[in-house]
Homo-oligomer: A and B are copies of this chain.
């Protein structure tokens, strides 16, 4: 089973690091506690899953061959391309019965937009990663078709926040997932979003 903890290898980036803040560690410990009875699952990093799954999709590799091979070999997952603590630090937990994911996200100083606050694109990235993971665990290989984000309040730079994602509906190849971004004490609602994912057809090529 893809999500079983036995499959978590040393490639897993979703384990505590020295750069994690106090609230990040506290929340990690709280959710790990919830994992003990099996109701929640601690997800390995997205990069790990992507690598595993892409082996099953040779058509992606084929499409990628059109791209400069040298550049492609430098390819790094966007959310993992920062030094520890400067970019995206996050850990996701999945509740299968409720079809939802909670992502604990600590954004670093290199994610700045307006001085002192996160860039809207950085928030969009973490939302896409979280709702995308919720779609992947339910639908396998999927692609984001729509992302509709309401930014209600700017998020101070270097904050730790909770991203609560929920699978709302599956209609054929379409998966609808919504989420919100809240402060750790759940008193501030920063952002709300809805998204649409489409399961990919392995026969179809993009290029």
Q: Which of B81, B119, B132 contacts A110 (CB 8 A)?
A: B81
A97 contacts the other chain (CB 8 A) = no
8 Å CB contact of A75 from B60, B78, B116, B129:
B116
Contact A78 B114 (CB under 8 A): no
CB of B116 within 8 A of CB of A121, answer no
Residue A139 at the chain B interface, CB threshold 8 Å: no
Determine if B125 and A121 form an interchain contact, defined as CB atoms under 8 angstroms apart: yes
Q: Which of B64, B108, B115 contacts A60 (CB 8 A)?
A: B115
Determine whether the beta carbon of A81 is less than 8 Å from that of B78: no
Contact A120–B132 (Cβ < 8 Å): yes
CA distance A128 to B148 in the complex (A): 12
**Which of these, B87, B114, B146, B157, contacts A149 with CB under 8 Å?**
B146
The verdict on A78 contacting B143 (CB below 8 Å), with A64-B157, A132-B120 known, is: no
Instruction: Compute how far the CA of A77 lies from the CA of B117 in the bound complex, rounded to whole angstroms.
Output: 10
> Can you name 9 extra interface pairs (CB under 8 A) apart from A121-B124, A121-B128, A146-B149?
A60-B117, A63-B156, A64-B117, A67-B156, A67-B158, A75-B116, A77-B119, A78-B119, A119-B125
